[in-house]
Structures are given as C-alpha cells and as structure tokens.
Chains A and B, each alone.
Chain A
C-alpha cells in the first residue's frame, strides 16, 4: 500500500520514453500481482498493452492529452471490442461485444492504456460484495476481506491509475471506501452510459475510482459530455473540472443528516473516523449544519425494489438466443429456463425473481408504485435541502471492508452497505466518496452528495482535504 501511483505524480518526470518504459514495466508487474494474488482482473489486455506502450514510446498521441499513456482499468461491465465483456457472469463468459462503450472510445482517444477488464459483481447487482463467477476481488489492505470490486483492488494496488465502473445503489463508492480510494458517482446524465451493461437504467451511472481529486477531475473531464446515444447526457455541457479544482473553496455549508449515527450497522471505528474527518472539514473552513432528511434512510429499501424490477426486465435479454450461454433443451421456453438458471448465480436469480414478484399484478400497486412515490419524496427532500446547503455529508458505508466470511450478514437483496449511498442514485445527484485513512488499519469513506452537475465543488473540497 506504499505505492502512490497517481496521475499528478507521473506527469512531473521528463524523458518520455524512459518514463513510459519504466511505468509500463512497473505497472505490468503490478498488474500481474493484481491478477494472480488479488483476482482483480477477469481479462488482461495482454497483446494490446505492449502495442500501446510501444505506440506511446514512438511518440504517437504525443502529449495531446493529460491522460496520454496513463494506465486504466475497466469494470467488466463496460463493453470493449478488443477484450471479452463478461459482467462477471457465466452467461457472458465468452461474450465479445461488437462495439466499444462511449467511455472506452473517449479514453482510447485520449491515449489511455487500458490494462484490462476488472472483476465485477455479477452484472453489478451485488453492490460491493466483490464476488463474481470468476471469484472474489481481494482487498489489498487485507486479503481475507473484499475490495468491493476488482476495479478498486487494481487501482488500490497501483496496477492502474484509475478505473471506471458502475454505481447503481452505491457499489462503486463503497468499493472506494473499502479500498482507500476516491469514488465518484457523477450526476445522472453526466457521463454517457452507451456500452455500460447496467442492471437498473434509472439508477446506474458510470463512476470513477482513483486516488486523488485531481485524477478524478481529469478523468471526468475526459469522459463527461454529450453523447446522442445516451439521451440523458444531452444539454449538459461539461465544464473544465481542473479549473474548478484550482478555484477557492469558501463558505461551503455542508448538511449532516440527523440520525446518521443511529444507523444500526454503524461501526464505532467508522463513526470515529468520520467524526475526525468532519473536524477536518471544519478546519478547512466548511460549515457543518445538521439537516433533517427523514426519507433519506428509506432510500436503500426503495432502491432495492426499483432496482430489482428494472433488473428483472433489463436482464431478460440473456436468453441464450443471440449471444451468451445456452443450455441444451428440447424446446424454446425450457431453453430459456435452463440457460438462465445455469448461467446466472444463485443471488442474481433471487434478485431477478424478487423483481418479478414486486412487479407482478398482485404487488405492483401495493409495493412497486409506492416505492416510486417514496423515490419522489427522497428526491424532493434532497433538492429542498440542497437549496439551503451546498452539499450533504455522510459516511459512505457504515462499516469497513467486510471479511468474505461475513458477506452474507452485510448483503442481501437489500444491503446494509447501501444505507447512505442509495439516495444519490434514486435522486440522480452526484456523490463522491472521499477516502478516510486510519493509521495502519482499514480505511473508511466520507460521502459528499452535491447538487446536480456540481461535481467540481465536491472534488475541490476533497482536493483541499488531501493537501
């Protein structure tokens, strides 16, 4: 964990070729470790990686972009043409996408070196369990604990400077907290989801994992913006995040939701770390006020209902007809059942069945529609509060990286890990998990939830905290 692979660090060096060769060798050895010892990767970009390194050494994509030559990792639910895209599932074990995700093209254009595809919870549904068909993603701080995702594991190890993944109920931010990283879930519509294999399209966003605010800002600047293939991105041109970062942070008011410390699963260590970090926020000039957000704590269960219904529908295309795993069967409907039953994990099957249950005729009006109304309340309440404060602060997760052995007690259809994170997905607001380091022990996370498209302000606060 001594490795401090950050973008800003790298850029200060001089001789490009030697730097690149140096980086690439150092990086390749870290990538190997991440794959072999931490199971962070599902697929490595073996052949292309060497080519990318030599292209860079030859001077292609010459300093056009501050991300040129920077190694990155992609969660394996982002489509890539040059590597398979599995979503951590047996059903897509050999799936080769015919197109790149929008963000993948953006990164490649910027000269980013994509080192590989990281382990993800099957279809992202498992939040931050960090377990897939391809096994567990181990935490660099403690190998018996989850990293939350292979992406987080790889970035924490320094096998990549940043990683992209998805965040539907908080999974990406949670994995950041578990692995001592920063994790940004941008505003809904900030980054195009074309090529993101999401499970809940009204909740999911492409998110960024990295070590510093500057790195996140650079990646956000590169990937944000309009894409006609994802309608939600239109009409919100992205600002220059780096410029915002350089700006001053003055008289920022931050709301702390009353009842945050009544959360049942809140670990004393997390509470202590969080309070320490709150004190730091005050030190740098932020004003912390307590705010009343009674619906905020209903978000996790609500997002579970909505997420399950959307997932039931969104994952219905895994039917073994055009792609993916198929089981041998006598007739069509039997083929569907056998392929899906064999191809999907036990947890995912239960989650999808739950979605079918909630949206069935007998529960649609009783559970599903009320959940959509509660969502309205959560969103309105957050919007109202954000008229009086600049952002809201909470711990990211009530606990630190769980042991693999304890996963079942923290995670279910609804996971206690989502208690603080799900509201931002339901409302669409941006949320940033700021790493909170403890001396030698497991890290935790502090979450900032901002106004729509106000990612820059949250990043500048983190930037000052990190200085």
Chain B
C-alpha cells in the first residue's frame, strides 16, 4: 500500500520589538542570565502586565502579509500549566481570538504551485530558558534564565496541507522570507527566534481520513525540519506496515542520532483551562489602524516576483532568486534603475554577486558594492573601457574594498587596449612567434585562431579588446 504523509506546522516567531510584550524589559538576545527581568516578567506578586503596542502591530502586520483576516476584538487569555520556564504558572496567549485567521502562503514545489493555508496566527509571550551543564537527562538540577520570558511571539499554525518533508522545508523558507520582508522578526532558527514543530500523520493514498498523528519538536534548522519529518514519516510507515498503530504523542528530534524519540511525562498538562486574563483588558483593532499597517507593508515576495517577470521580462526562476531577500531585491531594483538592462543585471547578480556572497557565507546586507558602482562597472564594459573578463576582476576588487570601478581600473591600470596601432604590434609579434598554429589555421583548422587570440590576451594581461583583436587577426591571416 502507498502512504501519503499529512503534515501541519506550528511555527513560533519572536517579534523584533525593543521591549517585552507585557513589560519594558529589553529583548536583546544573548545578555547575561536574568539581567533583563522585572517584577512583571518574573511573575512577582502584585505585578501586572501592560501590553506593548508594537507587539500587537507586528502581529497584525505579519497576519496581513500572510493574507489573513484580522480580528477586530481580542482578549489575551491565560493558558495554565506548571513548568520551570513559566514564571506565572500560565502563559498569556490569544486563545479565543487570534489576530489573524484564514490566510495562506503560495509555494513552488519542483515547478508546481501549491497553496498552504494558514489556520491562524496568534500573539503570545515566550517562556524563559532552562540551562544545563550537560544534558537535561543527566543534570541533577537546572538553572533558569528569564531573559526570554515575555518576549513577544507569534505562533503561526498551518492547515494540514503539507505532503512531504521537502514541502515543509520550502514552505518554512518562504514563510521566513515573507516575515523578513515585513521586518517583524529576524527569524534566526539557530538563535531560536524562529522555531518549528510539526504534526505528522500518514494515511493510505487517496484516503480522506486523517491518520493518528504525532507532534515533532526540537528541529532547530531548516535541515533538521527536513530530516526530522522525513524520519518520522518513515517511522510511521514502518509502524503501520508491521500492523501496529501509531501512538499519538510528542516526539523529540534527536539531531546527533538522527532519530525521533518519544517524550512522555505523567505531569504533562492536557487541560489548559484557558480564560481571558482579567489583568489585560480586551484590545480593539480599529479598521483605521489595520489600514495604516496595511499601507506600511512593503512589496512582498510574490508581488515582487510578478513585477520582475512582467516589467523586467525576467524568467520566473531569476525573479524567485532575486526576491529571495528584500535587500537583494532592492539591490537589484536599484541597479536596474541605473542600468536598465534587467536580464544582464540579473545574470551578474545571480552569477557573480550571489556566487561571491555564498563563497564568503555573507549576506547582501554587508556587501560593499553599491548599485551605483555596479551600474558604473557595466557602463565601463559598454564603453569598452574594460572587457567583460576584466570586469570580473574589477568586480572582485569592488567586493573586497568597496571602491568604485573607475578608481580600480585606474589604480590597477586595467584599461582595455583598443588602440589599433598598439594592438597591431602585439598581433604581429604573436603571429611571428607561433608559426605552427598560424599554419594550422591557414590549413583550415579554425580552432587554431582561438589559441592565437589566447596568446594575445596573455601578452596584454587580458586587456586587449577582444573584438579588435579578432578583427586584426582576421586581416593579418588572410
């Protein structure tokens, strides 16, 4: 029997507010433990929460970017359970009225378009962190740091629309791109500002009924999401094929062993007894406010792709690569506005620029090259000051130093030799010193011409104008 995986994701994303959701403590990552805490986020007696406007705004912004309907009235609700990283004994979350519902993200899987529906997006507070000298299992005690407690989070819950580990990874990457565009989060999986859990079940292909699902946690990178889900699908298939049943449980992705293991506890909370927190009064999202936030949204990846294809006539693939980050897309857009040859610019950005960035593991945001300088470089090629080949050398120099191309060309004396008189001497010299290839060419071996051109380029350290060289050679070898 063939099985079909059915996957839904729950993604927690920390919002980039300056302060926590219910108090004025800073949210800076990586500070000394418990230096960013106060009576509110420590849950000290007599303290009361005060909701951060920016957190609400960011949740609305993210919901809009994910095509959600925005709720106009919401409460902040207590989800009650006991755990060492939870200071108050309850987490405040939008249980009854999530900020966003009924949205979607379109993804491209192997050239096919697919829509993953967003069930809801809600705002809540993050928990603290448990620190251990070794593993949690061997540790005789845990240390608790509440710096993260109260950092605003959005939780995005998808419908069970995903059908493979690869789809899950692609969806997650697209989601990250969209959220980065809106600047509500830095979405760093390695720092935990983006975390993903997966609900996974499998069913016979063609079946409409859902199988028994497990919840998979602790996947801390895109790769882990892919590998963890893949493993869990295989495991469930094996269970079903051996005529057993999948146990509905929470499982843990063990990165080093590459397996998932069950997490069981007799203390696991099952009944959260949610009710509106009387200390946080309800919030009204006025349509005026929502409209203003909508207006503040940047052009999102899908809109950008459409525009790049339509306006710039780019292939879909180029458009997708170039919109991979907002900064890259802006870089591209600006360069094209200064040098209106979109495909040519795309080739350079996708080939040379992304190549160098990837090799250095760097991001466009720390790139030294400006759109203005890149456009200047292209103009130097066009007006034959340098050849396309030399341009690549100049480009590398620009990437390293941030200097403008004209300065580099001058400093390194890279100006193309187009002067017929000067070139002629070199051409004649090369013909003289290579009688063999010359004879070959004259005997009909056209390939020999390439060798001769190569020799001329070598003599001129690549600075000869290739068109002029070809023309001269053709004349001399007639």
> Are chains A and B touching in the complex at the 8 Å CB cutoff?
yes
Contacts of A336 in B (CB 8 A): 82
- Are the C-beta atoms of B80 and A312 separated by less than 8 Å? yes
Question: Taking the nearest CB of chain B, how far is it from the CB of A5, in angstroms?
Answer: 29
Counting chain A CB atoms within 10 Å of each CB, the highest count among B46, B80, B83, B271 belongs to: B46
Name the interface residues of A52-95: CB closer than 8 Å to any CB of B. Answer: 77-79, 85, 87, 92, 95
- Are the C-beta atoms of A92 and B88 separated by less than 8 Å? no
CA distance A97 to B43 in the complex (A): 12
- Are the C-beta atoms of A97 and B84 separated by less than 8 Å? no
- Are the C-beta atoms of B80 and A316 separated by less than 8 Å? yes
CA distance A77 to B83 in the complex (A): 25
Question: Taking the nearest CB of chain B, how far is it from the CB of A354, in angstroms?
Answer: 13
Is B247 in contact with chain A by the CB < 8 A criterion? no
For the side of the interface on A, what is the size category? 35 or more
- Are the C-beta atoms of B278 and A202 separated by less than 8 Å? yes
- Are the C-beta atoms of A101 and B275 separated by less than 8 Å? no
- Are the C-beta atoms of A323 and B44 separated by less than 8 Å? yes
**Which residue of chain A is the closest to B271 with respect to CB atoms?**
A361
Question: Taking the nearest CB of chain B, how far is it from the CB of A358, in angstroms?
Answer: 9
Binary contact readout B67-86 vs A (1 if CB under 8 angstroms, 0 otherwise) = 00000000000101011100
Binary contact readout B257-282 vs A (1 if CB under 8 angstroms, 0 otherwise) = 00000000001000101010111110
Name the interface residues of A286-344: CB closer than 8 Å to any CB of B. Answer: 309-310, 312-313, 315-317, 319, 321-323, 332-333, 336
- Are the C-beta atoms of A310 and B46 separated by less than 8 Å? no
Name the interface residues of B128-151: CB closer than 8 Å to any CB of A. Answer: 142, 144, 146
- Are the C-beta atoms of B78 and A322 separated by less than 8 Å? no
**Which residue of chain B is the closest to A98 with respect to CB atoms?**
B39
Name the interface residues of B215-239: CB closer than 8 Å to any CB of A. Answer: none
**Which residue of chain B is the closest to A85 with respect to CB atoms?**
B45
Which of B46, B87, B267 contacts A101, CB < 8 Å?
B46
Among listed A22-30, A188-196, A267-275, A446-454, interface-contacting one: A188-196
Which of A92, A232, A313 contacts B45, CB < 8 Å?
A92
- Are the C-beta atoms of B273 and A313 separated by less than 8 Å? yes
- Are the C-beta atoms of A319 and B82 separated by less than 8 Å? yes
Among listed A36-44, A211-219, A223-231, A385-393, interface-contacting one: A223-231
CA distance A336 to B84 in the complex (A): 10
**Prevailing SS type, chain B contact patch:** loop
CA distance A225 to B144 in the complex (A): 38
Contacts of A313 in B (CB 8 A): 78, 80, 89-90, 273, 275
Considering only CB atoms and an 8 Å cut-off, how many residues of chain B contact the other chain?
30
Is B476 in contact with chain A by the CB < 8 A criterion? no
Contacts of A323 in B (CB 8 A): 44-45
Is A184 in contact with chain B by the CB < 8 A criterion? no
Binary contact readout B16-39 vs A (1 if CB under 8 angstroms, 0 otherwise) = 000000000000000000000001
Which of B39, B45, B84 contacts A321, CB < 8 Å?
B84
CA distance A359 to B273 in the complex (A): 6
Contacts of B44 in A (CB 8 A): 97-98, 317, 322-323
With A193-B48, A312-B80, A313-B78 known as contacts, the answer to whether A322 contacts B43 (CB < 8 A) is yes
Contacts of B273 in A (CB 8 A): 309, 312-313, 356, 359-360, 364
Is B50 in contact with chain A by the CB < 8 A criterion? yes
Counting chain B CB atoms within 10 Å of each CB, the highest count among A312, A321, A361 belongs to: A321
Sample 21 A-B pairs with CB under 8 A, ordered by A number.
Answer: A85-B46, A92-B45, A97-B44, A99-B39, A101-B46, A194-B46, A200-B278, A201-B277, A231-B279, A313-B275, A316-B90, A317-B45, A317-B87, A317-B88, A319-B82, A322-B87, A332-B83, A333-B82, A356-B273, A359-B275, A364-B273
Having A312-B80, A316-B89, A356-B273, one finds 10 other A-B pairs with CB under 8 Å, namely A97-B44, A201-B48, A229-B48, A309-B275, A313-B90, A316-B88, A317-B45, A322-B43, A322-B87, A322-B146
The list of the 5 closest CB pairs from A to B, nearest first, reads A316-B89, A202-B278, A359-B273, A201-B278, A317-B43
Name A residues whose Cβ lies closer than 8 Å to a Cβ of B. Answer: 77-79, 85, 87, 92, 95, 97-99, 101, 193-197, 200-202, 228-232, 309-310, 312-313, 315-317, 319, 321-323, 332-333, 336, 356, 359-361, 364, 368
